[in-house]
Structure 1
Amino acid sequence: MNKLLTSAEHDVRVRDVEYTHDGTRMRGAVVAAPGTRGAPGVLLVHDAFGPGEDMLAIARRLAALGRPVFCADIWGARTRPRTMAEIGPLIGGMVADRARWIARVSAAHEAAGAQPELDGGCLVALGYCFGGSSALEYLRGGGRLAGVVGVHAGLDLLDPGADWSAAHPGASVLLCTGADDPMATAAQRDALQNALTGAGIDWETDVYGGTVHAFTSPRARNSPDPRVIAHHPRSAARAWDATTRFLRETLPA
């Protein structure tokens, strides 16, 4: 992300963390202000492009606000695909094996909880695009989270008829989505909201007009098809404000 760091963002520390899942080496990271210990924080789940600089920039912003972050690695080995030809099989593999998909997020949650900077029992999972889908699937599968924020989450990856009975009812969910996102249609939003209500989960959906998929992503500025993917600065700012407000509401200071 091409932006100057604020002084607070510059001061945060980034520490690589290796962990494993099913024999695969995962490379996460803790991002936190100096001296942070046992604090409620964020499990950041990357988009389809993996745990790259865009995700690290988000983690720095959150850490500068006093929220330590564990950056998950869902693909493994900190893989950062560049093209849809690379991304398609990665997402397809997770959707085809949802138990493995949920287990990948669970492994990141466990690794986060083992870090001295974070309180593993008081985390919000924040996911962008595929990461939002991942966080929701993890919650549905029984992930013990204080909350989930899905920013332009791919609701098309979720099974609208899936059983949510294992979901932790004490969690809250925030969705920040574009009104015209073909990967999160009105019907898909309704199906998810009905499932959350049925599971006793508090939820909020913020829908931004004139906005499609990946609206916060710097990569979307050069989208080959702005009818599907396009950067929208105003909606991105609104989603950030909603996310930080949700964290204040959901996590203790």
Structure 2
Amino acid sequence: MKRMIFLLTSLLLVSSLASAAIKTETVTYRDNGTEMKGYMAYDDSIEGERPGVLVVHEWWGHNEYPRERARMLAEEGYIAFALDMYGDGKTASHPDDAGKFAGAVRENMEVAESRFHAALRELRDHPLSEDDNIAAIGYCFGGGIVLEMARRGMDIDGVASFHGTLGTQSPAGEGDIKTRIRVYHGADDPFVKPEAVEAFKQEMNKAGVDYEFTAYPGAKHAFTNPGATELGEKFELPLAYDEQADKKSWQSMLEFFEEIFD
């Protein structure tokens, strides 16, 4: 019994030390007069520069979920910056407000692009960031944003969209997209119709993009978010967490990063 207690205590100590190495910084930055609230995470036990990853939030805004993903990326050896697309760290607690916030950004992609690049500068300017090794990931609304930034010629190493929107008012032409793309999609996501999936694939193929599209059978919208099922039940929305799809898509993303940052 004493030996078991000792082993458990040792494991908890190791876990605590590992967590203690992850440093986080709340970052206030500006874009065209609008104050933005971001969140930087990195492993302080690693010396020197490392690749950076931008994290774009769901339509709920810059809440704890993208911050947790930033910390998870830090644990993998990256420096991650969870950005703010709404301004002042604004978040929504009801789908009506979330839809309004997200819609306002989607309707003005010039503003969205400017805010994205303001965050990109923050990440690149950090002393621990390798400014020539950068990727971006996004969830739901954020997945759509990183795909839109790719369509607009964002020159970074790769983007990954998790249960993101696929439609666009400005389809990419040949040579427009300069980055590699990975899309992780819930095959049972009612917010993204099969015709939208087919249109996206045709767009990518015509544009000659290096992309992979993975659909997870049975997975619904927001399948990576552990809080999705509760939110779905609360607001009667087809949201649900899928642990298997979450883990598989995260592992695939990590393997993708190993390729692009090699």
Q: TM-score, normalised by structure 1?
A: 0.89
Would you say the 8 A contact 1:29–1:70 is kept in 2?
Answer: yes
Alignment match, 2:7 = none
In structure 2, the partner of 1:81 is 92
| Higher relative contact order, chain-length normalized (CA < 8 Å, sep 6+) | 1
Q: Which runs of 5+ in 1 are unaligned?
A: none
- Letter paired with 1:249: E
Q: Is residue 41–residue 124 contact of structure 1 (8 Å, CA) maintained in 2?
A: yes
Once residues 111 and 146 of structure 2 are traced to their aligned partners in structure 1, the CA distance between those partners, rounded to angstroms, is 13
Conserved 8 A contact 2:91-2:98:
no
Letter in 1 for 2:228: A
Letter in 1 for 2:176: A
Q: CA deviation at 1:118?
A: 1.1
Q: Provide the residue aligned with 1:167 in structure 2.
A: 176
**Pair 1:129 & 2:146 matched:** no
CA distance in 1, matches of 2:15, 2:39: 20
Pairwise CA RMSD of aligned residues? 2.1
| SS, match of residue 227 in structure 2 | helix
Q: What displacement does 1:227 show?
A: 6.9
Letter in 2 for 1:41: G
Match of 2:195 in 1: 187
Q: Using the alignment, how far apart are the partners of 2:164 and 2:260 within structure 1?
A: 20
Question: Which structure is larger by alpha-carbon Rg, 1 or 2?
Answer: 2
Question: Could you say what secondary structure the match of 1:206 adopts?
Answer: strand
* Residue 29 of structure 2 corresponds to residue 19 of structure 1: yes
| Cα pair 2:85 2:116 within 8 Å, conserved | yes
Alignment correspondent of 1:200:
208
Please tell me whether the aligned partners of residues 9 and 60 of structure 1 are also in contact (alpha carbons under 8 angstroms).
Answer: no
- Whole-Å separation in 2 of the counterparts to 1:52 and 1:124: 21
- Kindly, what percent of the aligned residue pairs are identical? 28
| Contact 1:106-1:138 within 8 A present in 2 as well | no
Partners in 2 of 1:138 and 1:81 — Cα distance? 23
Shift of 1:126: 0.6
Query: In the alignment, residue 25 of structure 1 is paired with which amino acid?
Result: E
Change (3 A) 1:110 1:244: same
Pairs within 5 Å for 1:7-86: 7=16, 8-34=18-44, 35-86=46-97
**More helix by percentage:** 2
Q: For 2:54 and 2:113, locate their aligned partners in 1 and report how far apart those are by CA, in whole Å.
A: 14
- The Cα offsets for residues 38-69 of structure 1, whole Å up to 9 and x where unpaired, read as 32121111111222221111111111111110
Q: Which amino acid aligns with 1:58?
A: R
1:240 aligns with 2:245: no
Contact 2:52–2:130 (CA under 8 A) maintained in structure 1: yes
Partner deviation per Cα, 1:170-228 (whole Å, 9 max, x = no partner): x2111111111122222212222222223332001111001110011122121137772
**Contact 1:36 1:68 (8 Å CA) reproduced:** no
Distance (whole Å) between structure 1 residues aligned to residue 103 and residue 141 of structure 2: 11
How many positions carry a matched residue from both structures?
246
TM (norm. structure 2) is 0.87
Give me the whole-angstrom Cα distance separating, in 2, the residues matched to 1:70 and 1:152: 20
The 8 Å contact of residues 174 and 208 in structure 2, kept in 1 or not, is answered as: no
- Of 209, 221, 224, the residue aligned with 1:213 is 221
Residue 146 (str. 1) matches residue 154 (str. 2): no
